[in-house]
C-alpha cells in the first residue's frame, strides 16, 4: 500500500474512531452497567408509570411534562408517546453525559442506540423505558437528535 493510500484510509477511519472514543469515554464515566441517574429497572417489578408526550409546537420541540420528581430507590416506567410528526428520542443521563452524547450525535446523526437509558420513537408511536433511580440529584432527559435539544426538547428528573 502506498503512503497516500494509507493516509486516505486513516482519514476515512478517523471520524468513526472519534465517535467510538467519545462513546467509550461516556461508558467509562458511568461504568459498564452504572449510569449517573441510576440503573435499568426490572420490568417484572412494580413501577410508578409516568406518561411523557414528545411533540412539536411550531419551531419549539418539547417533552410534556418537562419536570418529574421521584424518590431515591423508586422505579419508574416511562411510557413515551411520540405525538409529533418527527422522530424523537428520550435519553436519560447527567447533563454532562448528554452533552458528550449530543456531540457524538452531531457527528453521526443516524447513530443507533442500544443503551437501556435511551429510546428512539418514530412519529405516532409509543415506547417504554423502565428505570430505577438509585442516586439523588438532578438529571436530564433530552432528545439528542441534532437540533431538537436546542429547540427546547429537554426535561429534568429530580431525585430526592
pLDDT digits 0-9 by tens, 113-151: 789 999 999 999 999 999 999 999 999 999 999 999 999
> Which residues, including other chains, have CB under 8 Å from residue 14's CB and lie 6 or more apart?
none
Choices 3.40.50.300, 3.90.1150.10, 3.40.50.970, 2.60.40.420: CATH for 3-159: 2.60.40.420
Residue boundaries of the structural domains of the chain: 3-159
Is the alpha carbon torsion for 112, 31, 129, 81 positive or negative? negative
User: In 3D, which of 55, 78, 70, 80 has the Cα closest to residue 153?
Assistant: 55
The pLDDT tens digits of the residues spanning 92-103 come to 999 999 999 999
Amino acid at each position: 500500500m502506498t503512503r497516500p493510500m494509507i493516509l486516505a484510509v486513516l482519514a476515512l477511519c478517523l471520524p468513526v474512531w472519534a465517535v467510538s472514543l467519545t462513546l467509550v469515554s461516556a461508558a467509562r464515566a458511568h461504568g459498564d452497567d452504572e449510569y449517573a441517574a441510576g440503573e435499568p429497572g426490572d420490568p417484572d417489578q412494580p413501577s410508578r408509570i409516568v406518561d411523557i408526550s414528545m411533540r412539536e409546537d411550531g419551531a419549539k420541540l418539547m417533552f410534556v411534562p418537562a419536570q418529574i420528581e421521584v424518590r431515591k430507590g423508586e422505579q419508574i416506567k416511562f411510557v413515551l408517546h411520540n405525538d409529533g410528526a418527527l422522530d424523537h428520542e428520550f435519553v436519560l443521563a447527567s447533563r454532562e453525559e448528554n452533552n458528550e452524547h449530543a456531540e457524538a450525535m452531531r457527528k453521526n446523526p443516524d447513530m443507533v442506540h442500544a443503551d437501556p437509558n435511551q429510546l428512539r420513537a418514530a412519529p405516532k408511536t409509543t415506547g417504554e423505558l423502565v428505570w430505577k433511580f438509585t442516586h439523588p440529584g438532578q438529571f436530564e432527559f433530552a432528545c439528542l437528535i441534532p437540533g431538537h435539544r436546542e429547540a427546547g426538547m429537554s426535561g429534568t428528573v429530580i431525585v430526592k
